[in-house]
Structure 1
Amino acid sequence: MAAAHGDRSRAAAVRSMADPSRHFLSFDARGSGRAAEVFGDLAKADHVAVLVPGSDTSLDTYDRFRAGALVLHQRLGQRLGQQLGPRAAVIAWLGYETPGTISADVLTTGLAKEAASELREFIGELRKVNGHARLTLLCHSYGTVVGARAASGLDISDLVLIGSPGTGVDSAAGLHTKARVWAGRGGDDWIADVPHTRADLFGTTVGFGTDPVSPAFGARVFAAGDGGHSDYLKPGSVSLANIARIVLGETPEMTHG
């Protein structure tokens, strides 16, 4: 259908996703698109990471998001060792309409409200498939706003905020979660220059408040290296190594920010 309508980018993306070797929990090609793809054996995994993307992520740009999930899964496998079997799984969850980086939506929690409801439902379904795994929610950029809104009462071990513009709450305690809350930011991430404030304009709250890597927020800050906004899951990076440690519960080995 995409090809018939002249949308070559969407047609190419969907053809790639149709590869029988890939595994999807959900898929919808309408609009900007939705997908939840699994890497590893979800039912048997002892450690599961769910990745929540930020702005400008759609089916047309999905390959970039997927690449990070694949790198993380490979890193987890390396740390666990092949002899231990399929003990880790990663899910790339594109389950909401992400805002455009250059848009009014990216400055408010509007899209995050509905997305948080979808994420909470997804985690609930995930727990029916695997109720024993250590579950980490790994959120990037605007995805941290989504994760923060969904966190209260969510059955997860760890909430990881990377490249965050803020979460919409003033502190980690304001998330009302029993999960450990982590935050990291690369040295060359432009998000550091975004004002961490909130203001009410014409009945709409603009901005997301306290910087999650600041002492005032109260998260566990980990070293994320010198990378930029899209480098947190880059092969060989400090951030990837520390994120893998969090997912596996190996936090005594963490390098802190």
Structure 2
Amino acid sequence: MRSDKHNRAPFPLTLAATGGLLFLHLPLLLIFAYAFTTEDKSFQWPPPGFTTRWLAVTWARPDVWQALTLSLQVASIATAFALVLGTLCAAALSRARFFGQEAITLLVILPIALPGIVTGIALRSAFGMMNIPFSFWTIVLGHATFCIVVVYNNAVARFRRMSPSLVEASYDLGANGFQTFRHVILPNIGTALLAGGMLAFALSFDEVIVTTFTAGQQQTLPIWMLEELIRPHERPVTNVVAMAVVLVTLIPILGAYYLTRDGAETAGSGK
């Protein structure tokens, strides 16, 4: 049996990993610190003082609530579309073998591989060509393009791990298609779908680039934050909202991680 000493990572590797983690997460701590600063025009370090009044100011801002409501609605509906379409794509491509399957698989995952600005320009051009006015639904369609991929990646991995004999046994025992899906397939892929839905919701909730090209005059919460940074009025309010976004998106991401940590079904689901 190897000792714990041999299982430890080399000190330079540990130091590099620690430095990388600090580089990634220290800026997030600054957001939390500046959300409680007494300075309202610029950021100083260390903050001249701490106050909680910006929480009340943010709570009373109607523009924040409008942007938050729009983001939650868009993320919820885009996730619902993604769960249906992503699951159907995963079921078809994991169970069937046909000519051109790899090409179709590439087309399904392409939206998440492309830069967001390319997807945004493509969607804006398509909406303009079809004379579709920018609205709530154009934002939903834009977000659904990459949310489908997140759900697909989770579902297809779980479908491939599920034995086809389970479905065959269900049919042999007299179950119809709906009963087989409800009692056999759904219990086996349920956690993967839940994880994919959580990740899709988190990605949609904080999407900026695609939203910029598909929102028109509407403001989701990330777009509101971007405009507030460009033309600041009360800087700490932006940091309070950013702190809330971190907390809102952290919950589904952690939930998705714990639901799928025992397998590889979330592989490739990042954006």
TM range (shorter): under 0.3
- State the TM-score, normalizing by the size of structure 2: 0.22
| Structure in which a larger fraction of residues adopt helix | 2
- State the TM-score, normalizing by the size of structure 1: 0.22
| Structure in which a larger fraction of residues adopt strand | 1
Structure scoring higher RCO (CA < 8 A, sep ≥ 6) equals 2
